Amino acid sequence: MGMTSALAAAVSTGRQVFPSPCHSVMVMDLDEPLDTAAAEKGEAALRRLSEADPALFLSPSADLAAAARAASQHIYSSLAPLSLAQPPPLPTLLTDPAFDAEQIWSQIELLARPLLPHLRRQLRRLEQQPPSQQPPVATPAVAEGELLEEDGESSESEELKNEEELEGTEDEKESEGTQDEEEMGDEEEEEAELDGRGGNGVEDKFLKIDELTEFLEKGEEEEYGGGAKRREKKAAKNWMVESDGEDDDEDEDEDQLDLEDFEDDDEEGEAGGGDIRYKDFFEKGHHKQVKKRDGSIKKVQFKDDQAHESELDDSENDDGNDEQEQGLSTHEKERLKMRAKIEQMEKASLEPSTWTMQGEVTASKRPKNSALEVDLDFEHNVRPAPVITEEVTASLEEMIKKRIAESHFDDVEKPTMLPSKAPKEHKELDETKSKRGLAELYEDDYAQKAGIAPAPLSISDELKKEANTLFKRICLKLDALSHFHFAPKPVIEDMSVQANVPALAMEEIAPVAVSDAAMLAPEEIFEGKGDVKEEGELTQAERKRRRANKKRRYAASHKERPAKLQKD
Amino acid sequence: MLRRNIRQRREYLYTKSLEGPQRALFEKKRRIRAALEEGKPIPTELRNEEHDLRRQIDLEDQERQVPKSIVDNEYATANIREPKILLTTSRNPSAPLTQFVKELKVVFPNSQRMNRGGQVISEIVESCRSHDITDLILVHEHRGQPDGLIVSHLPHGPTAYFGLLNVVTRHDIKDRKAMGKMSEAYPHLILDNFSTQIGERTATILKHLFPVPKPDSKRIITFANRDDYISFRHHVYEKPGGPKSIDLKEVGPRFELRLYQIKLGTVEQNEAQSEFVLRPYINTAKKQKTLGA
């Protein structure tokens, strides 16, 4: 209620900013008589709405809608001069019947939105400062307020009316209504309401701010020991003690002293959370009497040691007290925690460990079905079996295609057949009649057997014959060259012309092994015996003897034959 | 006949046992020869033996420089005669397994399928020997899925044990009619990525299951080694647009083989020497690549 009155005051003061003969004019506009009429109309509309039966709002009625538009326009114009951005973005609210509910609402929001943070700040300041103190901002308005009061009571009545109207609109807002009504509910009023109740809008069935603060304080208590604010200071002080334990600085002692002073001040009755200020640290000359918690007064001295000692004593005593009161330093707390943890771990290692931590565990040593729950991890020594994916198949097929293209296969090779025996000789049968008679064939056979005539060669092919002879000749030569004990070749008796080559030609520098058996024997060259004489050398008696021998021979050979036919 | 077999087996094992030290000797000779050629000092571990080996090296000719492999003994007649295969299963096979074996019969040319019944393995091997069969293949299963393949080369030859994975049979594929009949020409073979010694050995074992194909055969069987898992694929190809475009059509079952043992005897010889045994439980099992690359 205080807030609404404050706002109303603000509104009223706002109204007085622009002094005019008409008390209700707020907007500095050119058309003054029109505005007056409009304002009256708006107020009439507001009155109408507040008086209307709530049940009427359940069904849409044009009458009420028009009234609502007029009322909202009136309120808008009364609040427009209060907006921070002067001139206001929209001087009047446009409420033609053609305008939609959304459009009217957005116009209101244009004006209202910038005002919200400003109003919030004001409210907070009002909350913080004691009610006796004057709000620092309102001084010019107050003066004008005084001015107004001089004008007359009508303004007050107007104020009251406006308050009522405001409250009426709040009520209307709370009741169910049409869309037009919702817009009409002034946003600032809503905001004022919300801020006035101090966070009540955030609360729920579940969330209570008081419970929240309680809980937070409890948590902090656990962490730091009783009294969050005290603890903060204590923490800060202890921190300073620990860190500067070796340094005996005068300044810091004094700082500590200062903190203590401040602490006591806070204890006395400050509502807010302990704000440490500059002057607490750096302003010397505080000679306030420090009150101990148990109530005794201790005189503060400026001597270093004493002050330090006193400080330390103080802190120790405080610590002792704090333990009792469950307020430990952070170091102490950490130590306690560590100790608790150590105890816990010692206890755990004395107990038998879980079955997963023991070495080889049989089924009887572990609880039933426990191996199913545990995530066992094995190291697998084998590579897993291959999964045949499409890529694998594709790569295999590619390889196969490449091999096919190259015709590179790994088939079994057929071995090359070595001939095991020589090819048979096919005897060709000659169809022609044999030139030699049967008797002659028998004759030849007998001659062969008897050894008179040489054996005929059995090889049919002449080329083969030739090849054979050549080969044999070569073999003979090689044998002669390579063997120590040479065996000459067997005699081939073939009818070849024996060249009566003079012996000189034969006698080359050839190895002895080249036999001269092929050469003609001397008897073959010359047959004869005894003294050989030439024709010219013969005597007459020898000539006659020769002739007689010849005749005798001739007669002997021709005796059997009959005499030749004599020529007739 | 029995005595002959025993003798032959002994011979085979003996020559096989000689192969090891022979190969080591060959290696040493090769290293010495290389060092001599390059003019580098002979490696220190061979200094003692170098003197003895030098004579041998000098007298060696091209033929003797290469060590003789026992494959010549085992697969000596493989080139000349065509392989003859007998396929059979473990006892009481399930229907999917018999289907799979039927498919394998079509894959291997010159093969016969036999019902297992209640025969003992030694009987089977004996009858195979007497019928001049060169290879015996046994297929094992686990709850309908074929999971084991044993390839045994018959006179006394090596036996390779494989595990089967990811088996996809022709019966699984729904529209078999669309696939048409499977060509029964002698196929070309592709053996990819068998680079180590055991890889070469496996390659020869798998290779000699197939006869010598005609050069223009359109059927391709692939054994591709990827990470010690051998992928078996069976394709038929055609070249519709000249030699460069190749149209592959996959036909026949597809599975992965994993070699886990090679024994130097036949299937029935339990005490035969192992040439290779898979050991997956050692710490460095992940790093080992037994078949190649």
- What pLDDT is recorded for position A459? 59
The pLDDT of residue A65 is 86
Number of separate helices (H) and strands (E) present in chain A: 22, 2
The structural domains of chain B, with segments of one domain joined by +, span: 1-68, 85-277
Secondary element (H or E) of residue A482:
helix A462-482
Task: For chain B, say whether A422 makes contact (Cβ under 8 Å).
Answer: no
Contact A426, B205 (CB under 8 A): no
B236 part of contact set with chain A, CB < 8 Å? no
B107 CA to chain A: closest CA distance, Å? 15
Tell me what percent of the residues of chain A surpass a pLDDT of 70: 54
What's the mean pLDDT when you consider all of chain A? Answer: 70
User: In this predicted model, what pLDDT tens digit does every residue of A237-267 receive, in sequence order?
Assistant: 555 554 444 444 444 444 444 444 544 444 4
- Identify the pLDDT of residue A137: 55
Cα–Cα distance for residue pair A301/B142, rounded to 1 Å: 98
Residue A549 tokens read as 């021998």
Query: Could you read off the pLDDT of A440-462 as tens digits, one per residue?
Result: 889 888 888 887 766 666 656 78
Buried b or exposed e, range A127-142, using 16+ CB within 10 angstroms = eeeeeeeeeeebeebe
Q: Which chain B residues have a beta carbon less than 8 Å from that of A390?
A: none
Whether the per-residue pLDDT at A430 is higher than 80: the answer is no
Q: Which residues of A touch B211 (CB under 8 A)?
A: 412
Give residue A396's pLDDT: 94
CB-CB contact of B163 with B148 (8 Å): yes
- Residue A291 carries which DSSP code? E
Among A314-328, A432-446, B264-278, the range of highest mean pLDDT = B264-278
- The pLDDT score that the predictor gives to residue A84 is 76
Which residue did the predictor score with more confidence, A110 or A297?
A110
Of A373, A342, A344, the C-alpha closest to A356 is A373
The yes-or-no verdict on residue A373 having pLDDT over 50 is yes
Reference A49, options A172, A223, A196; nearest CA is A172
For A31-73, the pLDDT digits (tens) are 555 667 878 888 888 888 888 888 888 888 888 888 888 888 8
Quick check: B266 pLDDT over 90? yes
CATH architecture for segment(s) B85-277: 3-Layer(aba) Sandwich (3.40)
- CA–CA separation, A91 and A79 (whole Å): 10
Evaluate if residue A372 carries a pLDDT over 50.
Answer: yes
Q: Å from A405 to nearest chain B CA?
A: 7
Q: Is the pLDDT confidence value at B210 over 90?
A: yes
Chain A CB within 8 Å of residue B233 CB: yes
Q: What is the pLDDT of residues A267-289, one digit of tens each?
A: 444 444 567 788 877 776 554 44
Chain A residues close to B191, C-beta within 8 Å: 410
Contact B281 A381 (CB under 8 A): yes
Which residues of B fall within a CB distance of 8 Å from A410?
A: 189-191, 203, 207
Indicate whether A161 pLDDT > 90: no
Is the entire prediction scored with pTM above 0.90? no
In sequence order, the 6+-apart residues with CB closer than 8 A to the CB of A333 are none
Distance of CA A324 to the CA centre of its chain: 55
pLDDT tier for residue B196 given thresholds of 50, 70 and 90: very high
Question: Is the separation of the CB atoms in B13 and B273 below 8 Å?
Answer: yes
Confidence of residue A291 (pLDDT cuts 50, 70, 90): very low
On whether any CB of chain A is under 8 Å from the CB of B211, the answer is yes
For residue A15, pLDDT beyond 70:
no
Instruction: Specify the 3-state DSSP secondary structure of A529.
Output: coil
Provide mean pLDDT across the span B157-176. 86
**Given the DSSP bridges, would you call strands B188-192 and B229-238 parallel, antiparallel or unpaired?**
unpaired
Question: pLDDT tens digit string along B104-159?
Answer: 999 999 999 999 999 999 999 999 999 999 999 999 999 999 999 999 998 888 99
Confidence of residue A471 (pLDDT cuts 50, 70, 90): very high
| pLDDT at res. A497 | 64
Residue B228 touches chain A, beta carbons under 8 Å: yes
DSSP B65-100: HSPPPTHHHHTTTTTTSPP-EEEEESSS--HHHHHH
Taking the C-alpha atoms of residue A446 and residue A504, their distance in angstroms, rounded to an integer, is 42
Output the pLDDT for position A395.
Answer: 94
Judge whether A363 and A353 are in contact, CB under 8 Å.
Answer: no
pLDDT digits (tens, 9 = 90+) for B35-45: 888 888 888 88
Predicted local confidence at residue A40, as pLDDT: 84
The pLDDT, as a whole number, for residue B177 is 67
- End-to-end CA distance of chain B: give it in Å, rounded: 44
Contact B237 A396 (CB under 8 A): no
* Residue ranges per structural domain of chain A: 38-119
Amino acid at A78: S
Complex prediction ipTM: 0.84
Measured in degrees and rounded to the nearest 5, phi and psi for residue B276 equal -150, 135
Instruction: Measure in Å the smallest separation between the Cα of B80 and chain A Cα atoms.
Output: 7
pLDDT score at A34: 62
Residue B171 has a CB neighbour count (10 Å cut-off) of 14
Query: Pick the residue with more confidence: B5 or B163?
Result: B163
Q: Which of residues 15-74 of B touch A (CB under 8 A)?
A: none
A506-525 average pLDDT score: 61
Amino acid A400: pLDDT: 94
For chain B, the residue count is: 293
For B191, which of A396, A401, A410 is closest by C-beta distance?
A410
Q: Decide if pLDDT at A75 tops 80.
A: yes
- Scan residues 106-165 of B and list those with Cβ closer than 8 Å to A: 165
Check pLDDT > 70 for residue B31.
yes
Q: In the predicted model, is pLDDT for residue A513 greater than 60?
A: no
Yes or no, beta carbons of A400 and B207 under 8 Å apart: no
The string of pLDDT tens digits covering residues B71-96 is: 556 777 667 788 999 999 999 999 99
CA distance B100 to chain A (A): 19
